[in-house]
Structure 1
């Protein structure tokens, strides 16, 4: 397989996954409390979450206004 084929296949896979999330209401199964210095990016990285899945399980989260003690979903379905 050449690079163009691989890139195309990855694009199609990402599209199919994103369609699977569309219209579904997430159910959170695990949370963490925000600590001083935390960011959405840092929390997502710490729990090995893609940005798309992190946004899916935290649909109303405003990452520009995190506060200490706020509960953030880190796993869900």
Structure 2
């Protein structure tokens, strides 16, 4: 009888350990998953060459773009350093 209860206790301990391991791995992936997600990649579907005298404001107005969309599809753009002929994305999304 002692051997049978020892075997049962060992089995229960094993199931408990597996359950805890599964619980913590799921909890950790949900907690750290937000921090480990890669940044979305901008995808450009249409481009525009900057005209002489144009600033970011003019381009956003011309193509009816929100600040958020314009910035998201042109992530490294410095609006204070635009130059004539510079290519900008005017239509796109984040993936």
The answer to whether the superposition gives a TM-score over 0.5 is yes
The normalised TM-score by structure 2 is 0.56
Greater RCO structure (CA 8 Å; 6+ sep): 1
Give the Cα separation in 2 of the matches to 1:38 and 1:55: 16
Give the Cα separation in 2 of the matches to 1:74 and 1:27: 11
Aligned residue pairs total 55
Post-superposition shift, 1:55?
0.3
Match of 1:62 in 2: 78
Post-superposition shift, 1:25?
1.0
Segments of 4+ moved more than 4 angstroms: none
Match of 2:36 in 1: none
- Correspondence for 2:67 among 45, 51, 56: 51
Give the Cα separation in 1 of the matches to 2:50 and 2:66: 18
Larger Rg: 2
Determine which structure has the larger helix proportion and give its number. 2
Structure 2 portions without partners, runs of 5+: 1-38
RMSD between aligned alpha carbons? 0.7
The normalised TM-score by structure 1 is 0.69
